[in-house]
Amino acid sequence: MDTGARMFGLEFMKHTQVFKPFSLLILLLALACPVSAQEEPAAGGEAMGGEATEKKEAAAKEESTDVIRTGTIASSGEYASGNAVDVDTQGSAPGDEPSTIQGSVSQIGRGKCRASITNSSEENTYSVRFRVIGTNERGAVAIKKTFSATLKPSQTQNRKLACKDNLRMQVVLLSANKR
């Protein structure tokens, strides 16, 4: 218990006759919440702690160099203007670092589509879950299939599926976990 806090509370009560309920509250707070001075760091402790923290941060940064973005990572299809669009978004915007897990989707023949998922990491293996969604010109979902794969470094896996012509197709990355 800090005697300075107790003395402050008692002195405060003497000089505040009008506000006794508040002065009692302050006294109780002073007694219940003692104030202590900060301890000084041991000799060299701050410098060592700072270096240790920097080393941990650097190790974490090295470990997590792979950027993973979930959501739509590829799309293709025909839109209202009648122009075909095949887009490999790689899950990133201009100026962003591309996602480690990339995808593409395309029509490979009449009634057949291929969705590809790629691990662009040169070191890490990933277990991924992704969904291929096809919508018609009205926006109604015609295809919705979920797949999983284990991708070794620099590996691509393809999934073929039946799809109607003129669908807007997209690959949605649901999850990617480092193995």
With tokens 């402790």, the residue in question is 45
3-state secondary structure (DSSP) of residue 161: strand
- The DSSP code for 170 is E
Which regions in the chain score pLDDT beneath 70?
1-64, 78-95
* pLDDT at site 91: 47
Q: Is the pTM of this model over 0.85?
A: no
DSSP, residue by residue, 46-60: HHHHHHHHHHHHHHH
Q: In the chain, what are the domains?
A: 3-63 (no CATH), 71-178 (2.60.40.3230)
Place of tokens 């209202």: 80
